[in-house]
Amino acid sequence: MRTTRSVVTAAVLIMMIGLGLEARDVLGQVAQTRRTQTTENIEGITVSGKATAYARPDLMEIDLQVASASELTADAIVKYRDAKARIEEAFENLKLDQVEVAELGLLVDQKGPSPNQYGGIDPRATLSAKPEVQLSRKLVVRCSAIEGRDEEELLQLVARLLDVAQDAGGIVGPPPGVNPYQYSSRGIDLSLVRFVVEDFDAVQEQAYEAAIADARARAERIARLSETELGPIVAIQELSRPGDPIANVTRVVLPNEEPPREGRLESNRLQDVPVRVELLVRFQLRPAEDEGADTP
């Protein structure tokens, strides 16, 4: 009986030792795999590359507002049609091939009292004013192919377009009901003229090329200081590109204003517009070769 117990105990011990050895081998393989994966993950360097190129604006835009209001909706429609027709006819009479008038969405709302310079509304105006139906539309006067014109010629053209718009009854500047004091104090651009770059593919290619060269120069310096050799590019991430909205920046939009268009660059100044690119580039790193080693 004792012999049987001893045999069973010995068998259990042998089995436990075997399981322990197998578990150790498995854990060793897992640890080795983790070390290998970690080594593979850190065998590289990630640097940022930045570059800025400049593009000349090729389009000029002027925002106008045509609006009409009346207590009767039918009267407001008639007034709106007449006002819009006057503006369109005025620009057609200029006979400028590179100037066109584009229409944005029609807005139908209720006309209210205008705010004062302090951002408030006179309560006496709300008591005496009767509700009126208001029709308004934003018109964009676009002048293309301006990159070949000098500053004086563009100034004369801007003056001519603004004078024609105001003489025809167009509203130049902020739309009706917008307090310019309130929005100018919050850093909102209320400029009359906008200069646009729509075709910047060639300049963007130059910016990408310069950003990659900048990243390579940074990586080569770090590799030299760490006594390693820089390998090929293994990954590229685009952090920012021209025409995209700025991240983490809250944009304050005017009431009933359409969101900004993507894929183009805008400036309120007549100057070269910067085309900025930022990339995150990952290079492979290799151990530096020993120059003094004997060659076979």
Do 183 and 85 share a structural domain?
yes
Q: How far is CA 115 from CA 118, 120, 176, 200, 227, in A?
A: 8, 5, 10, 41, 67
Which tens digits make up the pLDDT trace of 82-108? Answer: 999 999 999 999 999 899 999 888 888
Beta strands 59-70; 193-197: pairing state: antiparallel
pLDDT bin (cut points 50, 70, 90) of residue 53 is very high
Mean pLDDT (the chain, rounded): 76
User: Which of these three, 151, 177, 197, is where a domain ends?
Assistant: 197
Is the pLDDT score of 281 beyond 90? yes
Q: Is the pLDDT of residue 14 over 70?
A: no
Domain extent, residue 208, equals: 45-55+201-287
Same domain? For 262 and 279 the reply is yes
Location of structure tokens 């009431």: 255
Query: Exposure pattern of 82-91 as b/e (b: 16+ CB <10 Å)?
Result: ebbeebeebb
Residues 66, 86: one domain?
Answer: yes
Q: Cα separation of 282 and 5, whole Å?
A: 65
Check whether residue 173 and residue 223 sit in a common domain.
no
Q: Is residue 17 part of a domain?
A: no
Q: Could you give the angle at the alpha carbon of 229 between the alpha carbons of 228 and 230, nearest 5°?
A: 125
| Number of domains, the chain | 2
140 pLDDT higher than 50: yes
Do 153 and 230 share a domain, yes or no? no
Q: Same domain, yes or no, for 190 and 264?
A: no
Structure confidence at residue 178 (pLDDT): 58
User: 222 and 279 share a domain?
Assistant: yes
Higher pLDDT among residues 284 and 6, named by residue: 284
Q: Phi and psi dihedrals of 247, rounded to 5?
A: -70, 150
pLDDT, tens digit (0-9, with 9 covering 90-100), for 239-271: 887 766 543 334 445 555 555 566 788 888 888
Q: Single out the residue in 172, 197, 222 at which a domain terminates.
A: 197
Task: Please indicate, yes or no, whether residues 84 and 152 belong to a single structural domain of this protein.
Answer: yes
63 and 176 both lie in a single domain:
yes
Q: Give the other-Cβ count within 10 Å of 144's Cβ.
A: 15
Contact 71, 132 (CB under 8 A): yes
Percent of the chain whose predicted confidence (pLDDT) is above 70: 65
- How much is the pTM? 0.66
| C-alpha to C-alpha distance for 174 and 163, rounded to whole angstroms | 17
In angstroms, the CA 165 to CA 58 distance is 22
Share of the chain above pLDDT 90, in %: 37
DSSP code at position 89: H
Which pLDDT does position 122 carry in this prediction?
52
Same domain, yes or no, for 163 and 230?
no
Residue 288: band (very low, low, confident or very high) from pLDDT cuts 50, 70, 90: confident
